[in-house]
Amino acid sequence: MTKGTEGRDSMDAGLLAAETGADLGAARMQMALSLGWHIIVACLGVGMPAITLIAEWRGHRTGDVNYRLLARRWARAMGVLFAVGAVSGTILSFEMGLLWPGLMGTYGQVIGLPFSLEGIAFFIEAIFLGIYLYAWDRLPPVQHMLAGIPIVLAGVASAFFVVTANAWMQQPTGFDTEGGRVVAVDPWAAMFNPATPPQTVHMILAAFMVAGFLMASVYAVAMLRGRRDRYHRLGFLVPFTVAAVITPVQIGVGDWAAHFVAGNQPVKLAAIEGVFETERNVPLHLGGIAVDGEMRYAVEVPSGLSLLAHWDPNAEITGLNETPPRDRPPVNVVHWAFQIMVGMGFALLGLAAWAALGWWRRREIPRSRWFLRAAALSGVAAVLALEAGWVVTEVGRQPWIVYGVMRTEDAVNPAPGLVWGFVLVSVVYVILTIATVYVLRRLARDKPVPVAPQESDVTEYKVI
């Protein structure tokens, strides 16, 4: 099936435009806020169960109480995070309709299949998480660990399905339209669109990196404060190892994703690199700022972009001049988001290499306090890379909500008052953030874990 023909005529678009430009801006900010918030928790939801299971399994195999206590503590944090993840994710499904009825009314059915599958995966996740968290003392240890495995699989599957829907917005395939109405759909072709492979793999690996580095950074801080006992070392090592092993793979996958963008979303690539004129031997811009149609103050690597994007220093790169100004994404936002993502990625790679060196030489964590300081920041760095990466993907897609098919301004809810909704939602998210961080910090503190009625065997653990 071919790509959908370009949507509406201008009169239609005028009818559907938001009440005011401010409403469109508010809708976009609200979506960015709630997605940007949810995605951090979602990454923990994907990555944390696996890391927790590793600790539980090690505890079971070695009988080392430290592993078991870590698993127990992470599971408690997971309970909180999963709850806020479930509700913040639900809000997103509401917002798809509340904010973007133009998108969902027309194309909801095209991306319905992956969301239905995601619903099933999420259901399985929720069911087994309920069992895993609450049945610690009701199930024998091996059965309990087995109950954790569906959480990991379903978490990865959920991430995959949701990202396929986003990939479709980048590379819309699998449908035909007639007069702005969808007349034929191949939902499988829509789901397995060309952007699906690089985007889903990139995201799932990112989830494990974010979860691993965030968890490790908590223990790096504790170690900096002098708590270097086995419990804290293991609490650092288990998640850090997972994240550090994935980091180099992620750099390779990121390269794959960038090549994909170069080949399939040339306008996005031009915005990422601030290429205004179509040329050969295009340099790579590090830093810099776009002013009046040119990149200024950037460090240029000669022919760098041509080489990286097409493995050929002579390769031609399409510039923004080929696209009318109204169809271009904002260059500085996309350019800087990309710089931040890549910068953080390589910083994390450096940290992983440092740790590997220390392990290779002495079979232990590097002794330098600078290593721990850097590791303490690794969680923040991973989150920054994650958010910046999504800014590249989503802002780089603008002004399209469905790339080349439907403009964002035609998808937004034309009802007045969206600005107030955004204000209200922002206030709620500020409170939610404060409460979540506060509760998690309390959970992380070294004091006896409160004994809930269903956690009677917690008394068997030595509490540090």
Q: Which of residues 424-453 bind other proteins (CB under 8 A)?
A: 424-425, 428, 432, 435-436, 439, 442-443, 450, 452-453
Q: In the complex, what is the shortest distance from the CB of residue 95 to other proteins, in angstroms, rounded to a whole number?
A: 8
State which of residues 67, 74, 128, 236 lies at the interface with other proteins (CB under 8 A): 128
Residue 117 or 245: which CB sits closer to other proteins? 117
**Which of these, 352, 347, 386, 152, lies nearest to 245 by C-alpha position?**
352
| Range 177-216, binding other proteins (CB under 8 A) | 182-188
| Range 154-183, binding other proteins (CB under 8 A) | 182-183
Contact assessment for residue 216 and residue 242, using Cβ atoms and an 8 Å cutoff:
no
State which of residues 110, 156, 159, 386 lies at the interface with other proteins (CB under 8 A): 110
**DSSP alpha helices (H): ranges in 274-367?**
304-310, 331-362
**Contacting range for other proteins; rule: CB under 8 A; set: 75-83, 268-276, 281-289, 316-324:** 75-83
Contact between 82 and other proteins per CB under 8 A? yes
Contact assessment for residue 45 and residue 68, using Cβ atoms and an 8 Å cutoff:
no
Cα(463)–Cα(156) distance, integer angstroms? 33
| Tokens representing residue 196 in the block | 């699906």
Q: In the complex, what is the shortest distance from the CB of residue 108 to other proteins, in angstroms, rounded to a whole number?
A: 3
Cα(347)–Cα(353) distance, integer angstroms? 10
**Contacting range for other proteins; rule: CB under 8 A; set: 76-84, 220-228, 233-241, 268-276:** 76-84
Q: In the complex, what is the shortest distance from the CB of residue 44 to other proteins, in angstroms, rounded to a whole number?
A: 14
**Contacting range for other proteins; rule: CB under 8 A; set: 128-136, 228-236, 242-250, 395-403:** 128-136
Contact assessment for residue 173 and residue 192, using Cβ atoms and an 8 Å cutoff:
no
**Which of these, 98, 145, 88, 96, lies nearest to 122 by C-alpha position?**
88
Residue 192 or 359: which CB sits closer to other proteins? 192
Residue 185 or 298: which CB sits closer to other proteins? 185
Q: In the complex, what is the shortest distance from the CB of residue 216 to other proteins, in angstroms, rounded to a whole number?
A: 22
Task: Give residue for tokens 């990196």.
Answer: 209
Residue 131 or 145: which CB sits closer to other proteins? 131
Dihedral of the CA atoms 401, 402, 403, 408 (nearest 10)?
-20
Q: In the complex, what is the shortest distance from the CB of residue 381 to other proteins, in angstroms, rounded to a whole number?
A: 26
Task: Give residue for tokens 């099936």.
Answer: 1
349 burial (CB, 10 Å; 0-12 / 13-18 / 19+) is: middle
Q: 10 Å Cβ neighbour count for 49?
A: 28
Cα(78)–Cα(80) distance, integer angstroms? 5
Residue 127 or 349: which CB sits closer to other proteins? 127
Residue 37 or 336: which CB sits closer to other proteins? 37
State which of residues 40, 133, 317, 377 lies at the interface with other proteins (CB under 8 A): 133
Residue 1 or 286: which CB sits closer to other proteins? 1
Contact between 56 and other proteins per CB under 8 A? no
- Total binding residues for other proteins by CB under 8 A? 83
Backbone angles phi, psi at 319, to 5 degrees: -95, 170
Contact between 139 and other proteins per CB under 8 A? yes
Contact between 127 and other proteins per CB under 8 A? yes
Residue 138 or 230: which CB sits closer to other proteins? 138
Residue 185 or 253: which CB sits closer to other proteins? 185
State which of residues 36, 79, 313, 358 lies at the interface with other proteins (CB under 8 A): 79
Contact flags string 85-104 toward other proteins, x per CB under 8 A = -xxxxxx-xxxxxxx-xx-x
Q: Residue 7: CB partners within 8 Å, gap ≥ 6?
A: 106, 177, 180, 405, 406, 407, 410
Residue 389 Cα distances to 202, 366, 393, 415, angstroms: 10, 30, 6, 31
Residue 165 or 382: which CB sits closer to other proteins? 165
Treating both helix axes as pointing N-terminal to C-terminal, what angle do 65-99 and 230-264 enclose, rounded to 10 degrees? 30
